[in-house]
A and B are shown apart, each in its own frame.
Chain A
Amino acid sequence: MISKFLFLEWKSFTRSASFASNLALKIVIGFFAAYFILIFLGIGVGAFYILKKMKLDPVVAVNQFLFYYVIMDLIIRLMLQKIPVLNIRPLLIFPINKSTIVHFSLGKTILSFFNIIHAFFLIPFSIVLLIEGYDPASVVFWFLAVYSLFYCNNFINILLSNKDNLFAIFLGSAAILGGLHYYGIFDITAYVAPFFNALFNTYWAFLIPVVALVVLYYVTFQYFKKNLYLDAGLSSKHDEAKTEELTWLNQFGAIGTFLKNDIKLIKRNKRSKTTVGMSIMFLFYGLLFFTNGIPMYNNPTMHIFAGIFVSGGFLITFGQFVPSWDSSYYQLMMTQNIPYKGYLSSKWWLMVIATIVTTVIASFYLYFGVQVYLTIIVGAIYNIGVNSHLVLLGGAYTKTPIDLSSGKGAFGDKKAFNVKTMLISIPQLGLPVLLYWLGSKYGSPTIGLALVAALGVIGFAFKEKAFSLIEKTYKSEKYATIAAYKQKG
């Protein structure tokens, strides 16, 4: 039976849409995977010697921070790791034990990337410990114990996966604990480190996480088995709907009709809500540049780069996927009496309003000086004048249908990678950075800012021209877009 399941898995893997995506993307993904593996390997091998150099006992030091490592792992899982359920529905009616189905579904998660990645740190680190003459039994038990903790996270994530916003709570608590630790008010590691040290120093202590893992597996197994019904664990959640009229938007005429729709679209779908969350993250992205967090980033040319990101988070994450947001009912839109202009204007206004709102919120950057906030305002002007048109134009070539209900993919949709879209997005960031650099090199930073702002104003002045070009592009891409949106996932 398991072999049959494996066969299904293999087929679903090789035939999945993301696997079939283009070669360039596969190389990029492969590159990223290799990058992470190398980093983990490097840390695994290097950690021991670096800590030694810092005159710390490597095992104690690592144990001290394992708590944060494990919590961060859980947060990342809650955010990113989806439970890879076997396509269970079609199997229920066949003569297969429910236990087999559940065991296989759970077993599959063991091979998840989120579990394997830790091996690249833990195995080399343990080997170094052995080479350096630590007690082999201690090292092996410690390794088993720590790995069990990561697998505990795996199953905790599965059990908690249906609870929304949980990761935010965890993230918040971790941030608070980290902050208290950093400022020396309360050091949680002082309380938990003894536990991790015990894993190393006491032979039997490793049994605690191992037993915890077994218990967790059992609980998860029972939970799934009990819920293996169409109206229980396999049902989809239905939200209670409320009709909203949003009549205040009527004053905008035809654009109002679409704005109403777009607002509902953003409010009622997981995917679009993630986008809004992402744009809030972009708002704080600037902190990396303007504080001395990463010294490399703290120079004027990088600042304009940040300015564009801070004010344009929504524009970049949402605008990039116009018209894909409407992909599931694109045929309807194409048969209705809809002027492209009204449709596009509505998206444009949405982005402009969001950019202005973000810029106002970003006024807390004034803390870092007027120049910094000025950079952000200039970024906003450029976003409104130039980028808003560019993302709409790029959208005409982004023929990736969006599954509104699914939350994943917001970190860059896999299939949305497209050479034309990429070419259009170069001026989005490259041009202002270049202009600013030229301006500040041959004049002053203020001249640089003025140049970027001027380009934004020029772009705004040519709005009508830009829109008719965008409209033409949408029309010429119409049939290809309809055909692409028809193919799901």
Chain B
Amino acid sequence: MIQVNNLSKTYNGTTVLKIDSLEIKKGESFGLVGNNGAGKTTFFSLLLDLIQPSTGNIINHGVQVNSSEAWKPFTASFLDESFLIGYLTPEEYFYFIGDLRGQNKADVDVLLAKHEEFFNGEILKNKKYLRDLSKGNQKKVGIIATLIGSPEVVILDEPFANLDPTTQFRLKKIIKDLADDPNVTVLVSSHDLQHTVEVSDRIVAMHKGNVVKDIQTSPETLQELEQFFAV
């Protein structure tokens, strides 16, 4: 369970994020939507203790993230390409993350074999360093790397951006499978309302740093969201 208490982030007097209270249940598939500057990435950065909150805190499975590091073993995330190590090959990167998460080479290989279809033959054994892969292929590597070591919380920022249509379908399947596991909480942010509605059972819309909508996904959700954003 993730609990947000009186959280706010202020830069030079401008409040970019303000969430008084938000509770994300264990096993929930949580979708975060909003326009540019709505505070999605800021929220994720706070959740990962990459920036400090101005007020309040976030508690991830009983661990207050900005005072203890005990959340790290069960939380995996991919925000952007700065999570990749450019001079490694994809294989080396996966094994490196595996080492950090206590997975040996064989464990990682099993996981990679499972996602071979997602890689579409463009990632493994390609004699390319991560820095030389296209944006979409880099993203594939980053997303799969979050699955190493069966984390309980998976955080993906804009996972659908830059992916080709086929891969988007495959990614939706991966996220849905994750969401079906009652032990895994998935947090996904996106600009794409339809994708988010499809993979999430709960959707929160943000606007200028505030939570403006918090809905359980139903057949009408997409319409409701479209109406809200069509200004």
Contacts and interface: CB of A to CB of B under 8 A. Distances in A.
Interface in B168-209: none
Interface string B44-61: 000011111000000000
Chief secondary structure at chain A's binding surface:
helix
Contacts of A328: 82, 85-86
Given A241-B127, A268-B129, A482 B50 contact: yes
Contact of A265 (B52, B87, B89): B87
Interface string A326-353: 0011111011111000000000000000
Contacts of A330: 82
B127 A242 contact: yes
Contacts of B87: 264-265, 268-269, 404
Interface centre among B86, B100, B132 (most CB of A within 10 A): B100
Interface in B86-112: 86-89, 91-92, 95-97, 99-101
B72 A335 contact: yes
A238 interface: yes
A353 B51 CA distance: 35
B79 interface: yes
A244 B92 contact: yes
B2 interface: no
Contact of B96 (A239, A257, A404): A257
B89 A479 contact: no
Given A335-B72, A482-B50, A482-B51, A261 B85 contact: yes
B85 A332 contact: yes
B189 to A, nearest CB: 16
Contacts of A243: 89, 91-92
Interface string A449-489: 00000000000000000000000000000010011001000
Contacts of B92: 243-244, 264
B79 A261 contact: no
B75 A335 contact: yes
A164 interface: no
B37 interface: no
Interface centre among B72, B87, B95, B99 (most CB of A within 10 A): B87
Nearest to A254: B99
Interface residues of B, number: 32
B141 to A, nearest CB: 12
Nearest to A475: B69
A479 B49 CA distance: 8
Contact of B100 (A245, A337, A405, A482): A337
B89 A336 contact: no
A261 B96 contact: yes
A242 to B, nearest CB: 7
B89 A331 contact: no
A45 B73 CA distance: 69
Nearest to A326: B85
Contacts of B84: 329, 332
Contacts of B129: 238-239, 241, 268
A64 to B, nearest CB: 48
B77 interface: yes
A478 B77 CA distance: 18
A240 interface: yes
Nearest to B102: A337
Interface centre among B75, B89, B101 (most CB of A within 10 A): B89
A238 B100 contact: no
A469 B52 CA distance: 22
Interface in A22-71: none
A187 to B, nearest CB: 47
A132 B94 CA distance: 73
B128 interface: yes
Interface string B121-132: 000001111011
Given A238-B128, A242-B89, A482-B51, A336 B82 contact: no
Contacts of B52: 479
B83 interface: yes
A334 B49 contact: yes
A208 to B, nearest CB: 45
A257 B99 CA distance: 7
Contact of A337 (B101, B126, B128): B101
Contacts of A336: 72, 97, 100-101
B86 A329 contact: yes
Given A238-B128, A257-B99, A404 B86 contact: yes
Interface centre among B51, B73, B85 (most CB of A within 10 A): B85
A238 B132 contact: yes
Interface in B123-174: 126-129, 131-132
Contacts of B95: 245
A243 B99 CA distance: 16
Nearest to B74: A337
A331 B126 CA distance: 26
A196 B82 CA distance: 55
A257 B100 contact: yes
Nearest to A246: B92
Interface in A95-153: none
Nearest to A332: B83
Nearest to B100: A336
Contacts of B96: 257, 260-261
A240 B128 CA distance: 6
A331 B83 contact: yes
A163 B136 CA distance: 31
A10 B147 CA distance: 48
A335 B24 CA distance: 20
A335 B99 contact: no
A240 B126 CA distance: 9
Nearest to B72: A337
Given A261-B85, A265-B87, A331 B79 contact: yes
Given A244-B92, A268-B87, A268-B129, A335 B48 contact: yes
5 contacts: A257-B99, A268-B87, A334-B48, A335-B75, A336-B72
Given A242-B89, A261-B96, 18 more contacts: A239-B129, A241-B126, A243-B92, A264-B92, A269-B87, A328-B85, A329-B84, A329-B85, A329-B86, A331-B48, A332-B83, A334-B49, A335-B48, A335-B83, A337-B101, A405-B131, A479-B51, A479-B52
Q: Which 8 pairs of residues, A with B, have the shortest CB-CB distance? A: A257-B99, A332-B83, A268-B87, A337-B72, A241-B129, A238-B132, A337-B73, A241-B89
